[in-house]
Amino acid sequence: MKEQLNVVYASNDGYARHLGASLCSLYDRNLEEKELQVYVLSMGLTEESRVALETIAENYGRELIFIDMDDLEARFGHPVDLGGYDISIMLRLFIGEVLPREVERVLYLDCDTIVAQSLKKLWEEDLEGCIIGAVMEPTIYLEVKESIGLESRDPYYNSGVLLVDLKRWREEGIQQRLLDFWKSKDGKLFASDQDVLNGTLKGQIHTLMPRYNFFTNYRYFSYAQLLGHAPTYEAVSQDQFVLAKKHPTIIHYMGDERPWIAGNLNHYRRAYDKYLAMTPWAGAPREKGKRRYMAAYHLLDYTTVVCPAVRWTISRKLGMKLVESRKERTS
């Protein structure tokens, strides 16, 4: 394996400052890496945002490479309907095509992540013959799994952090397989690109431990709750789950309780605030208008601890409503 740590992000301009915080944390927590190359798949990033991101890289003596993908829709070769999602979420599916051929292994990170520890051990993870490595998302609805050809005991993975054997990805034509799968579903997918990856690569995804992609709302779930909801989560030990809560390597601000929203009480928000303050976006105001919702959401977090059935009921009702609304938009 090459020593160079290759990391790729994908971003539009709306997520530029979150990318900046994540990028800063990546550099800061991996100072010992002599060779660290970061690529940004760019769709609509302004020149101002690019300069700000380059400034972060220069502060750490690193090089940042932008790959312009404003032509993303044309790359599909047919009309694209993502049921309300921004098309930029599909950028990661094209990594094999747009990254340099010499890049044979890459770590993909969502912009709404913060790197809290060194990525050395993750980078050296043995994929055991699989195409990618990812962290399981056991709270996904059974209906979503069934819609992409998965059975109840099949694991379902989150696409926010992906360790990719890019050499095999190219050799086995994964990009075209992903696009063919997506087209076969006519865009009628709950989680779009994430569903595409799970449906296409069933049996070819290596399970990473949750500390490498810790969803902040999982702090309020117990291991027993997750195991009961998805027995396949037995691949993760209770000790590993507890370790992820206390010492996550990568924090993923997945869900509604985002640290950039005014009034949020996210337990892990300080990590985001710390690194945002080290970027050209320092002092950027939080998004307003959701204080009551943030308070209600945080109350639901603690309800999960004392009465998990309430959380499951509410989440399922709202989640399935979202599933159906996306189906209607794409029908």
- 3-state SS assignment for residue 280: coil
CB 287 within 8 A of CB 18: no
Residue pLDDT, tens place only, 296-316: 999 999 888 888 777 777 776
What phi, psi does 128 have (nearest 5°)? Answer: 50, 45
Q: What is the mean pLDDT of residues 53-72?
A: 94
Q: What is the pLDDT of residue 320?
A: 57
Q: Is the pTM of this model over 0.85?
A: yes
Q: What is the pLDDT of residue 83?
A: 58
Sole residue written with tokens 């690569």: 201
Q: What is the pLDDT of residue 75?
A: 72
Q: What is the pLDDT of residue 87?
A: 72
> Domains in the chain: how many in total?
1
Sole residue written with tokens 């944390």: 25
Residue pLDDT, tens place only, 187-210: 678 888 899 999 999 999 999 999
Looking at per-residue pLDDT, the higher value among 327 and 165 belongs to 165
For strands 105-109 and 5-11, give the pairing: parallel
Lowest mean pLDDT segment, chosen from 107-116, 135-144, 164-173: 135-144
Residue pLDDT, tens place only, 256-295: 999 999 999 999 999 999 999 999 999 999 999 999 999 9
* 273: exposed, middle or buried (Cβ count in 10 Å: 0-12, 13-18, 19+): middle
CATH of the domain at 112: 3.90.550.10
| Domain coverage including residue 167 | 5-330
Lowest mean pLDDT segment, chosen from 46-55, 82-91, 320-329: 320-329
State both tokens at 100: 């340099």
Q: Using CA atoms, how far apart are residues 225 and 230, in angstroms rounded to an integer? A: 9
Q: What is the pLDDT of residue 328?
A: 55
State both tokens at 77: 């070769």
DSSP state of 289: S
Q: What is the pLDDT of residue 315?
A: 73
Q: What is the pLDDT of residue 311?
A: 76
Angle at 174 between CA 330 and CA 71, to 5 degrees: 60
Q: What is the pLDDT of residue 306?
A: 85
Q: What is the mean pLDDT of residues 102-129?
A: 97
Q: What is the pLDDT of residue 1?
A: 45
Angle at 111 between CA 108 and CA 115, to 5 degrees: 75
Q: What is the pLDDT of residue 159?
A: 96
Residue pLDDT, tens place only, 202-252: 999 999 999 999 999 999 999 999 999 899 999 999 999 999 999 999 999
**Considering the chain, what percentage of its residues have pLDDT values greater than 90?**
76
Q: What is the pLDDT of residue 322?
A: 58
- Helix count (H) and strand count (E) of the chain? 14, 10
Lowest mean pLDDT segment, chosen from 26-40, 119-133, 299-313: 299-313
**Considering the chain, what percentage of its residues have pLDDT values greater than 70?**
90
Among candidates 163, 73, 89, which has minimal Cα distance to 119? 163
Q: What is the pLDDT of residue 327?
A: 53
Looking at per-residue pLDDT, the higher value among 320 and 231 belongs to 231
Q: What is the pLDDT of residue 119?
A: 98
